[in-house]
Amino acid sequence: MLTIDLSGKRALVAGVADDGGFGFAIAKSLAEAGASVCVGTWPPALGIFQTLLRRGKLDASLVLADGRKMEFERIVPLDAEYDILEDAPAEVRENKRYKDLGDFSIQGCADRLRTDFGEPCVDVVVHSLANGPEVTKDLLATSRRGYLGASSVSAYSMVSLVQRFGPMMRPGGAFLSLSYLAGERVIPGYGGGMSSAKAALESDTRVLAWEAGRKWGHRVNCVSAGPFASRAASAIGSGKTEGEAEGGAKRVPFIEQMIEYTRVNSPLAEAVTASEVAAAAAFLCSPLATGITGCVVHVDKGYHAMGKAVS
């Protein structure tokens, strides 16, 4: 029987701050396959995340398929907007949520793991990072600063992760990022330059696969996931107004619109789950996928293949 076996491997999942998104689900799938898992968490969310863990509020979500409880090997502060600590402005470094955390940059994250575990010490790096400061705006209304901010955190940070973790990965390392169909097709409402950032992320996947493959022998892939109601996704779009039976109107969140539209129009008429995306991610990061690199793999119930709506 073929099994995904990551025993003895160490993974870093960058972008985990709660139990409701793809990052947490991927961390869990990697742990179920036997990997030890470290996570990088955005500093403003770090204290709350650690408190929830400490108080047992996430215990039910941490239970693995075999009954074990997932325990993070390290929880590292990570703000992917900054490659090195010196890039962060003084007002950020002195902010109460940052100032006692040490080096929260991407380089700082790499240095912490190198200090704790030596070198080489990592086998898998997962980029589950995205932020668009103007994501609720149409592209025509997006400022240069908002556009570049979306690309910086959502796309360039993957380049920075590969730059810094590539040299400290064991042979046959695997990088993985998360994208969305808006990088290929027009998704009205997915604004603020985020569609451009996802397109860049997918293009960079191919280039990084070539460069990291030839330089270190590592693989680089991307999962384009179907819409999913994570906490972060709730910030996307402004939603539309729909009539209610009683008269009046209600606001339907953008992410709920996309989930329902995708479900109705997909070959498999159901919404994608976090565990399905996580299972695909675990496979792509495992020895079973050593022949796969430079790929964008759609995990969206086949919606990406459709050229006409059926509803």
What pLDDT, on the 0 to 100 scale, is given for residue 248? Answer: 53
Q: What are phi and psi of 245, to 5 degrees?
A: -60, -35
Q: Which of 147, 180, 261, 303 is catalytic?
A: 180
What pLDDT, on the 0 to 100 scale, is given for residue 187? Answer: 94
What pLDDT, on the 0 to 100 scale, is given for residue 2? Answer: 87
Phi-psi map region of 302: left, alpha, beta (phi>0 left; psi -120 to 50 alpha): left
| Number of domains comprising the chain | 1
Query: Is position 246 within any domain?
Result: no
Query: Is position 260 within any domain?
Result: no
What pLDDT, on the 0 to 100 scale, is given for residue 253? Answer: 84
**Tokens linked to 87:** 């890039």
- Report the b/e string of 10-27 with b at 16+ CB within 10 A: bbbbbbbbbbbbbbbbbb
Distances (CA, A) of 192 to 189, 232, 243: 9, 15, 28
Q: Which of 156, 190, 261, 303 is catalytic?
A: 190
Number of continuous H segments (helices) and E segments (strands) in the chain: 10, 9
Q: For residue 21, give its domain range.
A: 10-230+271-303
What pLDDT, on the 0 to 100 scale, is given for residue 32? Answer: 97
What pLDDT, on the 0 to 100 scale, is given for residue 44? Answer: 97
Cβ atoms of 204 and 249 closer than 8 Å: no
Query: Is position 80 within any domain?
Result: yes
Q: Which amino acid is at 224?
A: S
Query: Is position 251 within any domain?
Result: no
For residue 117, give the CATH number of its domain. 3.40.50.720
Query: Is position 116 within any domain?
Result: yes
Cβ atoms of 182 and 198 closer than 8 Å: yes
Blockwise average pLDDT, block size 10, the chain, 311 residues: 94 97 98 98 98 97 95 98 98 96 98 97 98 95 98 98 98 98 95 97 98 98 93 61 48 86 95 97 98 98 94 67
**Tokens linked to 261:** 């539209």
Query: Helix crossing, 274-284 with 22-32: angle to 10°?
Result: 50
Query: Is position 258 within any domain?
Result: no
Query: Is position 1 within any domain?
Result: no
98 has catalytic annotation: no
Query: Is position 20 within any domain?
Result: yes
- Global pTM reads 0.93
Asked whether the CA dihedral 78, 84, 86, 88 is positive or negative, the reply is negative
DSSP letter at 155 equals I
**First-to-last C-alpha distance (Å) of the chain:** 41
Determine the Cα–Cα distance for residues 285 and 162; give it in Å rounded to an integer.
Answer: 15
Beta strands in 108-148 (DSSP E): 122-127
303 has catalytic annotation: no
